[in-house]
C-alpha cells in the first residue's frame, strides 16, 4: 500500500446522501417506541381492556 499518501486520499469519499449515524440511531429508537405503542394499543383492543 502507498504509505506516503495522506489517509484522507486513501479512503473513498463518503456518500453525501447517507444519513449520519446519530440520525440513524434516533430514527431506530423513535421507531422502536412507536412500534411498542402501536403493539400495546392493538394488544389492548384485542384483550378488551
- pTM for this predicted structure: 0.62
Cα dihedral 15, 19, 25, 31, rounded to 10, equals -130
Buried b (16+ CB within 10 A) or exposed e, 8-20: eeeeeeeeeeeee
Q: What is the pLDDT of residue 32?
A: 98
Phi, psi of 35 (to 5 degrees): -65, -40
pLDDT averages per 10-residue partition of the chain, 49 residues: 70 82 96 98 91
Q: What is the pLDDT of residue 3?
A: 67
Amino acid at each position: 500500500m502507498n504509505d506516503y499518501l495522506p489517509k484522507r486520499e486513501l479512503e473513498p469519499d463518503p456518500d453525501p446522501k447517507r444519513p449520519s449515524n446519530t440520525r440513524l440511531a434516533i430514527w431506530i429508537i423513535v421507531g422502536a417506541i412507536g412500534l411498542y405503542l402501536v403493539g400495546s394499543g392493538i394488544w389492548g383492543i384485542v384483550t378488551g381492556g
